[in-house]
Structure 1
Amino acid sequence: MNNNYYNQNAQAFFDGTIAVDMAPLYQRFEPYLPAHAKVVDAGCGSGRDTRYFLSRGHDVSAFDASEAMVMLASESSGHKIWHSSFLEFQLPTATQDAVWACASLLHVPTDELTATFMHIAQWLKPDGILYCSFKYGVDVVERDGRRFTNLNEALIAKHLAPTALSVKELWLTSDLRPGRENEQWLNAILIKRTER
């Protein structure tokens, strides 16, 4: 369902997100990164964040589930973008410093979310971090051919409980896109525990 939406509306989505000012989120995330970090841009959309992390000297692996978005992101970033879903994407275990999943995990069905967090955690080095964001709520919403899994603090804790990830930071923000300021987002920086 979501892939059809993004394949059919790729250019409009690209145009609406490529220039969004992400500085407030980058400023929360980057202090956790070592120099020349290995960063995964998971569900990279327009490639905006891939381009930014490359400009900061990081080693970026990026993927998206929409073929049309992969093409646009590759053109925009000048970087290889893989066509893959979260659970299909493979990286060597414990090789990545960080994963950036900005407004992408929210499309994972609720019953696959815990498994997806587990899968992502395998890529991270001990003490590696994952940034993710969800629309704030407790329900699953379908809108314009897209499904959104909304989370609050209690729900994200429930999905993380069986995983090697724990919450480092949680905070709420308003949508950064013009005209969407009333939408609330749950932002999370998660850390991979060294021991379970």
Structure 2
Amino acid sequence: MSIEFYEQNAQLFFDGTIDVDMRDIYERFTKGLSKGCYILDAGCGSGRDTKAFLDMGYKVDAFDASEALCELSSKQTGIEVKHATFNDVTAVSQYDAIWCCASLLHVPENELQRVLNKLATSLKAGGIWYVSFKYGDGERVKGGRHFTDLNEHKLELLVSELPNITVKTTWVSEDNRPDRNERWLNALLAKV
């Protein structure tokens, strides 16, 4: 359902997200990363964040479930953005950091734990992981997309089931897009 939305609306989504100012979140995410660290941008959408991390000197792998967005983000970033889903992640202890900005929220709640486990396996010990979800408690369909909304408690429960993953910090923010009035749950996770 959500993939079909992005296939049909790729350019519109790209245009609406490519220039969103994410500097404050980038600063929190990269604070403990040294130059040259290896980042996975999981569900990269427009490629905005992949490009920012490449420009900061990081090595980045990126993928998205929408083939149309992969094409647009590959042009934006200058790297090959793989057409893949979270289920295709097979890496083991490969990445220093994982970035899941507004991507995991499309995973149905009954599949979220399994997906989080796959991503956790791909993160190196000592690695960091950024996730964001629309703030709330439950699942819904809006405008042809499925959303799983989380609050701090639900995130803590999910993370408590992940081996060696802890919640470092959470914060709630307003949507950075000028035409949106939504709240977001942001979190930095760590692998010990």
Which secondary structure state, in structure 1, belongs to the residue aligned with residue 86 of structure 2? Answer: coil
Structure 2 counterpart of 1:17, one-letter code: T
Which secondary structure state, in structure 2, belongs to the residue aligned with residue 191 of structure 1? Answer: strand
Which secondary structure state, in structure 2, belongs to the residue aligned with residue 36 of structure 1? Answer: coil
Matches within 5 A, 1:85-104: 85-91=85-91, 93-104=92-103
Unmatched segments (≥5 aa) in structure 2:
none
Deviations 1:126-171 (A, max 9, x none): 1111101000000111111001100001101111111121100100
Equivalent residue for 1:132?
131
Deviations 1:42-75 (A, max 9, x none): 0000001111111111110000000000000001
Matches within 5 A, 1:4-19: 4-19=4-19
Structure 1 counterpart of 2:53, one-letter code: F
Structure 1 distance, partners of 2:35, 2:110, is 36
Count of residue correspondences: 191
TM-score (ref. length: structure 2): 0.97
- The offset of 1:83, in angstroms, is 0.6
Structure 1 distance, partners of 2:179, 2:56, is 30
Which secondary structure state, in structure 1, belongs to the residue aligned with residue 136 of structure 2? Answer: coil
- The offset of 1:179, in angstroms, is 1.8
Matches within 5 A, 1:179-194: 179-180=179-180, 182-193=181-192
Structure 2 counterpart of 1:96, one-letter code: Y
Which secondary structure state, in structure 1, belongs to the residue aligned with residue 125 of structure 2? Answer: strand
- The offset of 1:33, in angstroms, is 1.1
Which secondary structure state, in structure 1, belongs to the residue aligned with residue 150 of structure 2? Answer: coil
Structure 2 counterpart of 1:135, one-letter code: K
- The offset of 1:32, in angstroms, is 2.0
| Identity value in percent | 48
- The offset of 1:90, in angstroms, is 2.5
Equivalent residue for 2:82?
82
TM-score (ref. length: structure 1): 0.95
Structure 2 counterpart of 1:162, one-letter code: E
Which secondary structure state, in structure 1, belongs to the residue aligned with residue 63 of structure 2? Answer: strand
Which secondary structure state, in structure 1, belongs to the residue aligned with residue 24 of structure 2? Answer: helix
Deviates more, 1:4-13 or 1:80-89: 80-89
Matches within 5 A, 1:1-196: 1-91=1-91, 93-164=92-163, 165-180=165-180, 182-193=181-192
Structure 1 distance, partners of 2:43, 2:20, is 16
Give runs of ≥4 in structure 1 deviating > 4 Å. none
Structure 2 distance, partners of 1:89, 1:118, is 10
What do you get for the CA RMSD once the two structures are aligned? 0.8
Which secondary structure state, in structure 2, belongs to the residue aligned with residue 186 of structure 1? Answer: strand
Structure 2 counterpart of 1:157, one-letter code: E
- The offset of 1:89, in angstroms, is 2.3
Unmatched segments (≥5 aa) in structure 1:
none
Structure 2 counterpart of 1:86, one-letter code: F
